Structure 1
Amino acid sequence: MTADEFAVDRFAIVALASSAGGIKGLSKILAGLGPGLPVPVLVVQHLDPRHRTVIAEILARRTGLRVKLAEDGERAMPGTVYIAPPDRHLLVGPGGVLNLSSSELVHFLRPSADLLFESVAGAYGPQTVACVLTGSGRDGAMGVDAVKSRGGTVIAEDPETAEFKGMPTAAVGTGAVDYVLPLDEIAAVIRGLVETKRR
């Protein structure tokens, strides 16, 4: 199989977005993904920019994956979880190179799930899996539209089981969501997607 065939046949990146209630949701998903995930995971969790964050340390205790705050200019590697630092947008470009931006707030937010999803859709197209978890507000809804329009796959936590329904409800309302799942089932579906050769 050539590199080009591999690129088209498999998912290559997972992007997760959450806000209120998100640490619990992210903990459950990352624990369920287990070690040895063949793709990188990019995470936007809305954090208070006034405080030093310990989210990477908290999530690292829940998973066999490597977890770290994203750094500007580094390349996203398989089996590693990259978290947007407080008050910085996390973007990804060609070749998986990460970019941290202090550009304008989006819907009063930085980091923005919409910007992450839009950048992932632009860089990875149909190789993208994007997932919206618990949170208030609408962040992520425009982004899932972008992922879907580029041929990617979109998952939303079932608003009925989400601790805060706003973000998943807005995502589902776009009509761009492929799977609406209770939190407990999301990790298994993501693993199934990224570990299976696409037909």
Structure 2
Amino acid sequence: MTQMAENAKNHLPHFNNAAFDIVAIAASAGGLTALTKVLSIPPEFTAAIAIVQHLAPEYPSLMAEILNRRTAITVKKAQEGDCLTPGTAYIAPPNHHLLVNGDGTLSLSQSESVHFLRPSADLLFESVAATYKNRAIGVVLTGTGSDGAMGVKAIKEMGGIIIVQDAKTAEFSGMPSAAIQTGNVDFILPLNEISSALVTLVMGKSY
């Protein structure tokens, strides 16, 4: 391997005109409606987005295709080796953990479930925290259970920002409430304010 290739392999890309490089989102029950609202951001959004949405493992998911039609950004099902790209959202496929690698690529894993869940938002958040540190934003949306709460702590400990959907505007308040109870949340926002907050944080302008 040449020195240039070695450097490229170990270099984490920082995106132009972005205060944060990645937004990691966790959603479960009620997630399609919530994600449609949160992803109503401009196509020139300067960070990449990684999403864990809990889905039935035995069925193929059309979530990425549906969201891609409903939003201005590109939404796709994550594939092994995908390179994170600004203005693109990557959704974990059913029954696969989604992880972010140190070179800004994605990995899929069928390692054991975490709290009976695969994909696990905690694993995504922890990989994002380890990789992007203070250039990561974690977002917890509607859902039952507590997935994401451990990952919220990881992102916060590395200097990242945490946004949680106000439980009063969530179809299911379990996941938002568990995240809030960690004491590591920066913003608790109604669903319809999260997209504009992301644009302001990442791009430094209102939307």
What's the TM-score bracket when you normalise by the shorter of the two chains? over 0.9
Distance 1:73 1:95 in 2: 10
Q: SS of 2:103's equivalent?
A: helix
Alignment-derived partner of residue 192 in structure 1? 200
Q: SS of 2:90's equivalent?
A: strand
Distance 1:101 1:163 in 2: 29
Are 1:126 and 2:134 counterparts? Answer: yes
Match of 1:83 among 91, 96, 108: 91
Match of 1:73 among 81, 92, 104: 81
Match of 1:178 among 186, 196, 199: 186
Distance 1:95 1:78 in 2: 15
Deviations along 1:149-177, one digit per CA (max 9) or x if unpaired, are 00000000001111100000000000000
Give 1:101 deviation, angstroms.
0.5
The answer for unaligned runs of 5 or more in structure 2 is 1-11
Residues 15 and 86, structure 2, Cα contact 8 Å, conserved in 1: no
Give 1:5 deviation, angstroms.
9.6
Q: SS of 1:95's equivalent?
A: coil
Alignment-derived partner of residue 92 in structure 1? 100
Cα–Cα, structure 1 residues 64 and 5, in superposed 2: closer, same or farther, change >3 Å? closer
Amino acid at match of 1:74: D
Residues 166 and 176, structure 2, Cα contact 8 Å, conserved in 1: yes
Q: Give the aligned CA root-mean-square deviation in angstroms.
A: 1.8
| TM-score relative to the length of structure 1 | 0.93
Are 1:107 and 2:93 counterparts? Answer: no
Deviations along 1:10-40, one digit per CA (max 9) or x if unpaired, are 2111011100000000001112x12111111
Are 1:155 and 2:133 counterparts? Answer: no
Are 1:37 and 2:45 counterparts? Answer: yes
Deviations along 1:28-83, one digit per CA (max 9) or x if unpaired, are 1112x121111110000000111111001110111111111001112111111100
Deviations along 1:103-136, one digit per CA (max 9) or x if unpaired, are 1100100000000000000000000010000000
Q: SS of 1:81's equivalent?
A: strand
Identity within the alignment, %: 53
Cα–Cα, structure 1 residues 43 and 4, in superposed 2: closer, same or farther, change >3 Å? closer
Give 1:4 deviation, angstroms.
10
The answer for unaligned runs of 5 or more in structure 1 is none
Question: Once superposed, which parts of structure 1, at least 4 consecutive aligned residues long, lie more than 4 Å away?
Answer: 3-7
Distance 1:45 1:6 in 2: 25
Give 1:95 deviation, angstroms.
2.3
Alignment-derived partner of residue 167 in structure 1? 175
Alignment-derived partner of residue 28 in structure 1? 37
Alignment-derived partner of residue 146 in structure 1? 154
Match of 1:51 among 59, 64, 69: 59
Distance 1:115 1:136 in 2: 17
Amino acid at match of 1:132: V
Distance 2:15 2:123 in 1: 27
